[in-house]
Copies of this chain bind each other. A is one copy, B any other.
Amino acid sequence: MEIKHSQFKRCDLVRISGRLDSATAPTLEERLEEITEAGRYRLVLDLSEVDFISSKGWWVLINTQKKCKRFNRGEVLLVNVQPQIRESLNLVGMGKYFRIYDDVASAVGSF
């Protein structure tokens, strides 16, 4: 898994690539915590290059979403979730916790 972070004026973009499983989820968790601990709660996660997400990965995203939405201070937006990943997410009823965009620009532009 690779993580690239860009800080914009009104949100942060995190581009993730590779697999998000029990082995890599803690690394992502750390990076996202760095961002939220800096008081930045508007996140765009570009998942175009992510080809596998297990429940351990989803929990990281969901915990981050909870933190960001608290006090209405922000939100995690997902971009380009691959169909199979999206399907598994919906299957366990977690799809509704995220707004999913087709391209990064629209997600960034929505903040």
| Chain A residues packing against B (C-beta within 8 Å) | 6, 8-11, 13, 44, 103-106, 108-111
Measured CA separation A105–B101 after assembly (Å): 13
Q: Please name the residue on chain B nearest to A12 by beta carbon.
A: B109
Measured CA separation A75–B32 after assembly (Å): 32
Please, could you name 21 A-B residue pairs with CB atoms under 8 Å apart, sorted by A? A6-B105, A6-B106, A6-B109, A8-B105, A8-B106, A8-B109, A8-B110, A9-B110, A9-B111, A10-B10, A10-B109, A10-B111, A11-B109, A13-B105, A13-B109, A44-B105, A103-B104, A104-B104, A104-B105, A105-B105, A108-B109
Task: Tell me how far the C-beta of A18 lies from the nearest C-beta in chain B, rounded to whole angstroms.
Answer: 20
